[in-house]
Chains A and B, each alone.
Chain A
Amino acid sequence: MAVNSVLPPSTGRRQVSWGTPLTYALALAIAAVSIAPVIYVVIGGFRTTPQIVADPAGLPDPFVWDNYARVLTQSNFWQQAFNSAVIALGTTLAVVVLGLAAAFVLARYSFRGREGLYTFFTLGLLFPAGAAILPLYLMLRDLNLINSYYAVILPQVAFSLPLTIVILRPFLSAIPRELEDAAAIDGASRLGFLWRVAMPLSRPALVTVGVLAFVASWNSFLLPLLVLSDVNLHTLPLGVQNFSSQYTTDTAGVLAFTSLAMLPALLFFTLAEKQIVGGLQGAVKG
């Protein structure tokens, strides 16, 4: 009785103590389903193929580093990671620079047909880019760009621009007119205003579009598959696919290669998670 009178009678409190274990149990279950396969692949890379065949769901016993060492020293892993990095960085840089320029013009200049042009870009979001891949290949072939970094970078930039402009323009239009006038009085040209005022102010949005472009490029497969037949230009997704079909019997090796290929995207995402979520948040703000 004494205990009862001390305990707070609030139902709200009781709900929390009821809800929390259940919430945690559910959240844990969901998280487990999400990452268990990934963890399995990473751990599987530390086993040997006979171990995996004998007991597919077991733990490494003993731990072997050999698979990872083999992938890192003997395969084309580093070459492919380098190619992926060049293409992803080139794409990101071009998307951010061109997207910023286009969005700036569409946001801060008034000219006839401006809204029409903007609608045109938003319509670009509706076009299914995947359908254009065959004629795109033919165009790149006629331009002699097949088997070059440009063959991947240029189309990726083109396909990323609509989304980039749609995300960036609102940021740039939201900058108050007074700031532009003040910059003009201080002697800044329009470009100076873009460089010194508009760009720093819209940095979160720039980071978002940059991250989205980078991740999309890093993961892309169909375009490189068609336009990069030269093995020395292959990117990591192509590498994963080739390695797995070339060494079908070396399950442990494939697991190791797959986990190494996942690593950069995972690291990058963990570092940039706030930006990605924040950017999408901006995109669905209603």
Chain B
Amino acid sequence: MFVLVPMGFAVYYSLFRWRGVGPPTEFVGLRNYTLAFQDPIFLDALRNNAIIVFGSLLIQGPIALGVALLLNRRFRGRAVFRLLVFVPYVLAEVTVGIMWKLLLTGDGTVDALMRSLGMGGLVQAWLADLDVVIWTLLAILTWKYVGFAIILLLAGLSNVPDELTEAAAIDGASWWQIQRHVTIPLLGPTIRIWMFLSMIGSLQIFDMIWVTSVPAVRSLGASATMATYMVDNGFFARLWGYGNAVAVILFVISFVAALLFQRFLLRRDIEGAITGRAK
């Protein structure tokens, strides 16, 4: 309800050309929507969101699975390693963004490190090159959010009964075979829930993009996302009607993606997994 009521207003406002002062009067129908889809910057934002959604899933998933399996082994000091891996996830996106912005400045720390490792040829204008910036942002997002995937997977792993892995070991299965044929299949529900949360988060990503990439780069579309585009245009440029139209588009895309995902992948898991303690 707390989302639905504002979204109702958004649909209403989105039909007007409105600067946010007084009641909206200049009815323009669906023109804001057609304008949005004709704006190359908005299309860039859509593409960037797609890069972040799929990039996050494809890169974070395997890394997180590997790390979670590793940290699920019993060894001394495991708890400390688990704690350290989660650190990036706890920090505010803004803090992380500012931090990486400083590390990635021209001739800054990252560049110096790469040169001393003999990779000077790979140095880029990380946050200023229009073709590079979105991949840099994706890398930072991966660094920050892979810890979340690891927490979820470790939680899922703790529910895999020891009896099963022990039985497999007695039957002569190697560590890899046990992971491959026993543990990972049992993680299915956890992996799907993580994919779902990651997807919804990626579609709405704002904070990190906003503080890390300079407005000039963002306004050219190289690093804009739907959310930064919406706030840039609706709030700061005071194109309230237009901004609300973008909000409705963002809402519809996210909600449809969520419904499709739920319909095809999560149907059983939501019941069993989120409310698992019920029964």
Residues of A participating in the B interface, judged by any CB pair closer than 8 Å: 15, 19-20, 23-24, 26-28, 30-31, 33-35, 37-38, 40-41, 44, 55-57, 120, 122, 124-139, 155, 158-159, 161, 166, 169-171, 173-174, 215, 218-219, 221-222, 225-226, 236-237, 240-241, 244, 251, 254-255, 258, 261-262, 265-266, 269-270, 273, 276-277, 280-286
The answer to whether A131 and B247 touch across the interface, beta carbons within 8 angstroms, is yes
B234: nearest chain-A partner, CB-CB: A134
Contact among A20, A134, A241, A244 with B75 in the assembled complex (CB-CB below 8 Å): A20
The answer to whether A266 and B87 touch across the interface, beta carbons within 8 angstroms, is yes
A174: nearest chain-B partner, CB-CB: B277
The answer to whether A244 and B230 touch across the interface, beta carbons within 8 angstroms, is no
Binds A, one of B32-40, B53-61, B123-131, B249-257: B249-257
Contacts of A26 in B (CB 8 A): 70
The answer to whether B100 and A134 touch across the interface, beta carbons within 8 angstroms, is no
Beta-carbon contacts of B137-153 to A below 8 Å, as 1s and 0s? 00000010001000110
A138 to B32, alpha carbons, bound, how many Å? 18
The answer to whether B247 and A285 touch across the interface, beta carbons within 8 angstroms, is no
The answer to whether A135 and B247 touch across the interface, beta carbons within 8 angstroms, is yes
The answer to whether B4 and A130 touch across the interface, beta carbons within 8 angstroms, is no
Contacts of A255 in B (CB 8 A): 102
B206 on the interface (CB 8 Å rule)?
A: yes
The answer to whether B244 and A135 touch across the interface, beta carbons within 8 angstroms, is yes
The answer to whether B70 and A23 touch across the interface, beta carbons within 8 angstroms, is yes
The answer to whether B151 and A277 touch across the interface, beta carbons within 8 angstroms, is yes
A27: nearest chain-B partner, CB-CB: B81
Most B CB within 10 A of own CB, among A19, A41, A169, A286: A286
The answer to whether A258 and B247 touch across the interface, beta carbons within 8 angstroms, is no
Tell whether A124 pairs with B3 under 8 Å between CB atoms, given A20-B75, A24-B75, A269-B86: yes
The answer to whether B274 and A122 touch across the interface, beta carbons within 8 angstroms, is yes
Contact among B77, B116, B193, B240 with A134 in the assembled complex (CB-CB below 8 Å): B240
Contact among A57, A137, A244, A261 with B92 in the assembled complex (CB-CB below 8 Å): A261
A75 to B97, alpha carbons, bound, how many Å? 20
The answer to whether B278 and A173 touch across the interface, beta carbons within 8 angstroms, is yes
Contacts of A161 in B (CB 8 A): 2
The answer to whether B156 and A286 touch across the interface, beta carbons within 8 angstroms, is yes
The answer to whether B83 and A131 touch across the interface, beta carbons within 8 angstroms, is no
The answer to whether B102 and A251 touch across the interface, beta carbons within 8 angstroms, is yes
Contacting A at CB under 8 A, from B238-279, are: 240, 243-244, 247-248, 250-251, 254-255, 258-259, 262, 269-270, 272-278
Contacts of B251 in A (CB 8 A): 127-128, 131-132
* Given A128-B258, A265-B91: 11 more A-B contacts, CB < 8 Å: A31-B84, A122-B270, A122-B275, A127-B251, A128-B254, A130-B250, A221-B211, A240-B92, A262-B92, A265-B95, A286-B273
The answer to whether A265 and B93 touch across the interface, beta carbons within 8 angstroms, is no
The answer to whether A126 and B250 touch across the interface, beta carbons within 8 angstroms, is no
B153: nearest chain-A partner, CB-CB: A284
Contacting A at CB under 8 A, from B103-162, are: 103, 107-109, 111-113, 116, 143, 147, 151-152, 154-156, 158-159
Q: Give the secondary structure class of A's interface.
A: helix
A166 to B86, alpha carbons, bound, how many Å? 24
Contact among B90, B206, B234 with A266 in the assembled complex (CB-CB below 8 Å): B90
Contacts of B44 in A (CB 8 A): none
CB distance from A77 to the nearest CB of B (A): 13
Most B CB within 10 A of own CB, among A26, A35, A38, A285: A285
Contacts of B269 in A (CB 8 A): 286
The answer to whether A270 and B83 touch across the interface, beta carbons within 8 angstroms, is yes
CB distance from A17 to the nearest CB of B (A): 12
Contacts of A236 in B (CB 8 A): 92
Most A CB within 10 A of own CB, among B75, B86, B90, B151: B90
B99 on the interface (CB 8 Å rule)?
A: yes
The answer to whether A126 and B94 touch across the interface, beta carbons within 8 angstroms, is no
B50 on the interface (CB 8 Å rule)?
A: no
Contacts of B262 in A (CB 8 A): 126
Contact among A20, A138, A266 with B13 in the assembled complex (CB-CB below 8 Å): A138
Contacts of A277 in B (CB 8 A): 151, 154-155
CB distance from A242 to the nearest CB of B (A): 10
Top 7 A-B residue pairs of the complex, sorted by shortest distance between their CB atoms? A285-B276, A130-B204, A158-B2, A128-B254, A219-B92, A131-B251, A135-B6
Most A CB within 10 A of own CB, among B7, B99, B108, B111: B99
The answer to whether B6 and A222 touch across the interface, beta carbons within 8 angstroms, is no
A82 to B80, alpha carbons, bound, how many Å? 31
Contact among A30, A129, A134, A139 with B243 in the assembled complex (CB-CB below 8 Å): A134
Contact among B93, B210, B275 with A170 in the assembled complex (CB-CB below 8 Å): B275
The answer to whether B255 and A128 touch across the interface, beta carbons within 8 angstroms, is yes
A225 to B200, alpha carbons, bound, how many Å? 21
CB distance from B70 to the nearest CB of A (A): 6
Contacts of A155 in B (CB 8 A): 2
Contacts of B240 in A (CB 8 A): 134, 138
Contacts of B71 in A (CB 8 A): 27
Beta-carbon contacts of B209-247 to A below 8 Å, as 1s and 0s? 011000000000000000100110011000010011001
The answer to whether A130 and B206 touch across the interface, beta carbons within 8 angstroms, is yes
The answer to whether A135 and B2 touch across the interface, beta carbons within 8 angstroms, is no
B190 on the interface (CB 8 Å rule)?
A: yes
